[in-house]
């Protein structure tokens, strides 16, 4: 009996091994097929990508992988310029850069040649001279033993490209070449966190296919899908569907883009095999894409604040196109939701049928990031706090990004308002940001660093259609309270308690100049409105307002050290407000989505809005809606005879319908247990208590473990 059990066990092992081998072969076939597919296959996108990557030395792996298939003229260029030794004369093989490492382009070109050689529709398919040149270039790489000072290129970036070469050329390699290929892929080991873990596992899986190692293949596959879950703690997809890596740092367009790109690819590759993703894992991908990433692209461009440190040439458009590949893969891997993916692709990535995409106001409390969308325009606010890192310098990239996480407000109509503005930007005048002017680390080449506000009152609140974001700035010597209110058609920006050493500036606008700049004095005689490129900027006072609309100069090396100092000039539109060292405050309004012909009429006919800006209370009324930021305990009068008092710091929205007040309350500090409110008069509602002596109604809102998310509360006015 025991002998039969052993035999049965051995048979099971044998059958499982056969199934595993068959599954691995199916995965290998589909992997090789993936190198020939063209996901961004619309003719206009193909033409754009072709021009986009021409001569590009962009280090962003997502943008480098925009090239799909192989262009014949590109293949011809690489074949005709390859030296007999197997190297290219325009690549600096002794490069010691940590970013944009030049030898990595040798691997990229090899992959291009391998795709052309193996693709049956290519003019270079199966040609002996192409095969020999691929072998020469491979031999040169193996002889050179090229190593970058940045581990990422050695373990992830270059093996990722060469892994494709090895799979495509596997049948053409002799034993020595095969051994060297497997040894090189051994640079990648399972480990690390987040998207880095996934990239490494991908490379290990390719090595397993080359070695025909079923156990290693299974280990690598499990490591890839291990990160495919919601992560309340640590790095990865957060419960609000934002993405964090390098600590508690928003990474939608950097590691988060690579994550969805990679996972959607493997969801398709593993499909219809025993290694297929589970329905739950597909659902995680779907929700991250449709409820997270879909908010950060607008008419074919990714939001600057979503791009992380990678503000390179072509970043906003390139990252959107890279996201398009992930969406196309999900159409295949998740066919039940194909219609939603097609709409996402058409509206947000191709810019077709504007107004049919995500509309409303969305705040991501885990990452201090908010988005507002109407049919005509989009705006984003990026903040940081004691909980969330605002930005980083890595490998001398993002050299001047110190203030990108301090309330940056970017408003888009077409999507390209800031396209490649970064070389000429005044990085101390980021739209929406209040910061000291002059001095600081600007102009110094720094390899590493993080930027973070140390205020803890940072958050946002929304009813799905309108909303408010607020932050308390405590950074170096600067202090300020700031709010951004989205009322549906306008953005109202308030600031108070601004203190610091030296000159302080709140930047209102700094975008590429396009078309006419016009102005109009307000009827009050004290204020002024400016119009530029579809947006009106309204200031109740002209005092301390600075305006510029001309040429700004710079170079890409100001942004990242791997660039050169070639001079660049661009016309820029700029608005800002100057403040005294102590006691500064401001208020201004943006009205996006207007035209050069209509904007003056729009200004004169704006519905009445009321806003009040005190040291620690910002209050905005729009019709029968109120938005309040209590940076400390305080009180506001909603209507004559109706005063709301908050005993704790909080954000609050209220809407009046009949005799009811519908409240939404949140704790931006994410540290309080409860928020106590009182409303003058007698009201009733869940958890409310009326005090006849004080003639007030009290209510206590539980906010324990809400992580900055709002809590709803309804109070109904009692009849006399």
The pLDDT tens digits for 226-244 are 999 999 999 999 999 999 9
Residue 568 predicted with pLDDT over 50: yes
Domain ranges, residue 442 = 371-608
- Domain check: are 314 and 198 in the same one? yes
Does residue 1 form part of some domain? no
Which tens digits make up the pLDDT trace of 301-340? 999 999 999 999 999 999 999 999 999 999 999 999 999 9
Would residue 530 show up in a list of annotated catalytic residues for this protein? Answer: no
Closest of 310, 302, 381 to residue 349, by C-alpha: 302
Sign of CA dihedral 64, 67, 70, 74: negative
Q: What is the reported pLDDT for 2?
A: 45
- Answer yes or no: is 317 within a domain: yes
What's the CATH code of the domain at 214? 1.50.10.100
Q: Are residues 275 and 375 in the same domain?
A: no
Q: How many domains does the chain have?
A: 3
Given pLDDT bands bounded at 50, 70 and 90, which one contains residue 11?
A: very low
Query: What average pLDDT score do residues 586-599 get?
Result: 96
Catalytic residue among 64, 197, 207, 246: 246
**Do the beta carbons of residue 667 and residue 709 sit within 8 Å?**
no
Catalytic status, residue 514: no
The larger pLDDT score, comparing residue 273 to residue 437, is at 273
Rounded Cα distance, 91 and 97, in Å? 13
Q: Are residues 411 and 550 in the same domain?
A: yes
pLDDT at 611: 87
Q: Which residues contact 597 (CB under 8 A, 6 or more apart)?
A: none
Which has more confidence, 189 or 52? 189
Buried/exposed 180-204: b ≥16 CB within 10 Å, e otherwise = bbbebbebbebeeebbbbbbbbbbb
pLDDT for residue 562 is more than 50: yes
Residue 406 belongs to domain with CATH number: 2.70.98.10
626 within domain boundaries: no
Q: Work out the pLDDT band at 146, boundaries 50, 70, 90.
A: very high
Domain membership flag for residue 623: no
CATH of the domain at 706: 2.60.220.10
pLDDT of residue 440: 60
With respect to residue 79, please indicate whether it lies within any of the assigned structural domains. yes
Query: What does the pLDDT average to over 468-475?
Result: 96
Residue 288 has pLDDT above 60, yes or no: yes
Mean pLDDT score across all residues of the chain: 92
**Among this protein's residues, is 532 annotated catalytic?**
no
**What's the confidence (pLDDT) of residue 482?**
98
Catalytic residue among 64, 106, 109, 309: 309
User: Tokens representing 244?
Assistant: 């964090």
Task: Give dist(CA 493, CA 480) in Å, integer.
Answer: 13
Model confidence at 148: pLDDT above 70: yes
Active-site entry in 255, 275, 412, 481 = 255
Confidence band, pLDDT 50/70/90 cuts, at residue 298: very high
Left if phi > 0, otherwise alpha if psi is -120 to 50, otherwise beta: which for 438? left
The single-letter DSSP state of residue 292 is: T
Kindly report, residue by residue over 181-205, the tens digit of the pLDDT: 999 999 999 999 889 999 999 999 9
- pLDDT (average), residues 609-633: 92
698 domain residue, yes or no? yes
């Amino acid at each position: 009996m025991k002998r039969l059990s052993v035999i049965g066990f051995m048979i099971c092992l044998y059958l499982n091994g056969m199934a595993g081998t068959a599954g691995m072969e199916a995965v290998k076939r589909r992997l090789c097929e993936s190198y020939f597919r063209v996901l961004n296959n619309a003719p206009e996108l193909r033409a754009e990508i072709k021009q986009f990557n021409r001569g590009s030395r962009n280090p962003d792996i997502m943008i480098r992988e925009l090239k799909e298939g192989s262009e014949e003229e590109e293949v011809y260029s690489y074949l005709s310029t390859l030296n007999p030794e197997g190297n290219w004369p325009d690549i600096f093989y002794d490069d010691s850069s940590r970013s944009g490492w030049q030898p990595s382009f040798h691997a990229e070109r090899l992959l291009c040649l391998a795709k052309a050689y193996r693709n049956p529709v290519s003019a270079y398919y199966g040609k002996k001279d192409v095969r020999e040149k691929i072998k020469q270039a491979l031999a040169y790489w193996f002889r050179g033993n090229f190593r970058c000072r940045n581990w990422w290129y050695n373990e992830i970036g270059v093996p990722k490209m060469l892994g494709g070469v090895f799979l495509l050329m596997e049948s053409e390699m002799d034993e020595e070449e095969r051994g060297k290929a497997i040894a090189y892929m051994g640079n990648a080991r399972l480990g690390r966190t987040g998207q880095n873990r996934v990239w490494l596992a991908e490379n290990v899986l390719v090595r397993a296919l080359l070695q025909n190692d079923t156990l290693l293949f299974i280990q690598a596959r499990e490591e890839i899908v291990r990160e495919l879950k919601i992560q309340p703690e640590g790095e990865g997809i957060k419960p609000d569907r934002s993405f964090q890596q390098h600590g508690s740092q928003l990474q939608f367009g950097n590691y988060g883009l690579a994550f969805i790109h990679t996972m959607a690819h493997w969801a398709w590759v593993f499909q219809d095999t025993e290694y297929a993703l589970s329905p739950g894992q597909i659902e995680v991908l779907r929700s991250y894409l449709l409820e997270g990433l879909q908010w950060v692209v607008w008419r074919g461009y990714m939001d600057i604040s979503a791009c992380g440190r990678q503000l390179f040439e072509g970043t906003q458009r390139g990252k959107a196109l890279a996201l398009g590949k992930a969406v196309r893969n999900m159409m295949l891997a998740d066919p039940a939701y194909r219609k939603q993916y097609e709409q996402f692709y058409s509206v947000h990535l191709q810019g077709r049928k504007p107004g049919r995409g995500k509309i409303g106001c969305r705040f991501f409390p885990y990452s201090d990031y908010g988005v507002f969308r109407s049919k005509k325009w989009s705006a984003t606010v990026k903040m940081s706090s004691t909980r969330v890192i605002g930005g980083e310098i890595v490998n001398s990239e993002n050299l001047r990004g110190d203030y990108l996480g301090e309330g940056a407000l970017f408003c888009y109509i077409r999507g390209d308002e800031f396209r490649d503005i970064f070389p000429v930007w005044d990085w101390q005048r980021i739209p929406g940001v209040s910061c000291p002017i002059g001095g600081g680390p600007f102009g110094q080449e720094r390899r590493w660093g993080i930027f973070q506000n140390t205020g803890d009152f940072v958050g946002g609140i929304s009813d799905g259609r309108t909303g408010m974001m607020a932050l308390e700035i405590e950074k170096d010597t600067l202090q300020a309270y700031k709010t951004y209110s989205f009322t549906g058609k306008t953005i109202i920006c308030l600031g108070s308690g601004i203190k610091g050493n030296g000159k302080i500036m709140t930047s209102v606008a700094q975008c590429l100049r396009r078309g006419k700049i016009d102005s109009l004095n307000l009827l009050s005689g004290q204020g002024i409105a400016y119009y530029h490129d579809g947006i009106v900027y309204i200031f109740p006072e002209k005092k301390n307002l600075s305006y510029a609309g001309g040429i700004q100069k710079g170079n890409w090396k100001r942004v990242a050290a791997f660039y050169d100092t070639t001079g660049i000039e661009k016309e820029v539109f700029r608005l800002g407000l100057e403040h005294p060292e102590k006691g500064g405050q401001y208020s201004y309004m943006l009205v996006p989505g207007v035209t050069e012909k209509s904007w003056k009429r729009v200004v004169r006919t704006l519905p009445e809005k009321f806003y009040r800006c005190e040291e620690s209370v910002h209050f905005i009324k729009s019709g029968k809606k109120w938005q309040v930021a209590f940076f400390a305990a305080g009180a506001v009068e909603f209507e004559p005879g109706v005063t709301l008092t908050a005993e704790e710091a909080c954000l609050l929205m209220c809407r009046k319908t009949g005799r009811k007040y519908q409240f939404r309350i949140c704790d931006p500090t994410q540290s309080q247990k409860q928020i106590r409110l009182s409303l003058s008069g007698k009201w009733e509602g869940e958890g409310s208590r009326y005090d006849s002596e004080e003639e007030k109604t009290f209510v206590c809102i539980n906010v324990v473990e809400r992580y900055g998310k709002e809590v709803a509360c309804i109070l109904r006015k009692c009849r006399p």
